[in-house]
Amino acid sequence: MVESPPEQSAAPGAAAIRKRHAARAAGLLAALAVLALVLVASIAVGAKQMPLDEVWHGLFHYSGTTSDVVVRDLRVPRTLLGLMVGLGLGLSGAVMQALTRNPLAEPGILGVNAGAAAAVVSAISFLGASTLTEYVWFALLGAAAVSVVVYVLGGSRSATPVRLALAGTAASAALVGYINAVQLMDSKALDKLRFWTVGSLASANMDTVRQVAPFLLAGALLAAALGRPLNAMSMGDDTARALGANLTRTRIGAMVAITLLCGAATAACGPIVFIGLMIPHLARMITGPDMRWVLAYSAVLSPVLLLGADVVGRIVTRPAELQVGIVTALIGGPVFIYLVRRKRMAQL
């Protein structure tokens, strides 16, 4: 009996891997196409109804008319900021879930957004900060501090998903109470922050885009570089060490990435919740557990959700607007309840 050559017996496995990679790549291209459509919708659709020819004129033949100003100076910066912030929130949620091995981990649920928001409110009310350049550093500091506090309260190395979620919820509740108290005592801070604290893209401009772009870009590049070591860590610390992963460096890098992404996103738009919870779960449903693909899909699908929610908020209450943070909370609340009630979560 003649045995098959090793390369022939291995061929079906290699073919399956190539087929899986091709399917993932095709899915990512489809997600990019959807993102392109949402970007167009974000520029073309708003609280003010505008014919497509006026939108086109504002984009490519700017002459200073009212419609041109709405398109070029308001909608384009808003769309670019939504793209970057959505990417930041999605990537930070994916990294956070992988780092803590907690399917409920998300910047809003674990209190990171609230920490950044509390730091910004303090800077505005007590230190007189008035521009993004001044208070983005406070947002980064607040995000980092709350990340550490929640991790310690959750039990550090013995932390479970539920304990971390409870610690984050407690920290968020305390910080939200502090934010509300400061705003009630300082009417000027209240006027500045009443829309920002629910999460909004309405005040976006090109200065904001330019100021937060370096932080979000640095955080995104760092998160992308963590895909392979996070894959190793998902198999346990001992296995990760055997595979050559530097656990300390990976954990520090992940925390820096989360801080940059969450802090910059929150400084620009306020605390927007549930984006980082929902999208990584959807990405894993499509790609499987490989963090390299999960991060890629999260970077594309998160702006789709954020910008889509922003477009919905501009349409449903015309001529007023429903803040994007409210829309994402309405969508994300039921999703969070579903995830908690899943059999896999019930036994944790």
> What pLDDT score was predicted for residue 343?
46
- Residue 304 in this model has a pLDDT that exceeds 60: yes
Q: Is residue 20 part of a domain?
A: no
In the chain, alpha helices (H) = 6-44, 52-60, 66-69, 76-100, 112-126, 132-153, 161-185, 187-193, 206-225, 227-233, 237-242, 247-269, 275-287, 291-316, 324-341, 343-346
Q: Is residue 246 part of a domain?
A: yes
Q: Residue 163 to residues 73, 172, 315, 321: CA-CA distances in angstroms?
A: 45, 14, 39, 37
Mean pLDDT is highest, among 10-14, 236-240, 245-249, 339-343, for: 245-249
Q: Is residue 63 part of a domain?
A: no
Q: Is residue 48 part of a domain?
A: no
Q: How many domains does the chain have?
A: 1
Q: Residue 144 to residues 7, 149, 337: CA-CA distances in angstroms?
A: 50, 9, 27
Check if the beta carbon of residue 299 is closer than 8 Å to that of residue 220: yes
Q: Is residue 3 part of a domain?
A: no
Q: Residue 346 to residues 99, 165, 339: CA-CA distances in angstroms?
A: 21, 14, 9
Query: Which tokens is 172 given?
Result: 């968020």
Check if the beta carbon of residue 158 is closer than 8 Å to that of residue 222: no
Q: Is residue 140 part of a domain?
A: yes
pTM: 0.86
> What pLDDT score was predicted for residue 43?
94
Rounded to whole angstroms, the Cα distance separating 256 from 244 reads 21
- Residue 149 in this model has a pLDDT that exceeds 70: yes
Which position has the token pair 């990294």? 95
Q: Is residue 206 part of a domain?
A: yes
- Residue 109 in this model has a pLDDT that exceeds 90: no
Per-residue confidence band for 79, with pLDDT thresholds at 50, 70 and 90 = very high
Q: Is residue 17 part of a domain?
A: no
Rounded to whole angstroms, the Cα distance separating 156 from 154 reads 6
Give the CATH number for residue 133. 1.10.3470.10
165 compared with 119, residue with greater pLDDT? 119
Count of CB atoms within 10 A of residue 69's CB? 13
- What single-letter DSSP state applies at residue 323? -
Look up the domain containing 174 and give its range.
83-341
343 compared with 155, residue with greater pLDDT? 155
Per-residue confidence band for 99, with pLDDT thresholds at 50, 70 and 90 = confident
Strand spans (E) along the chain: none
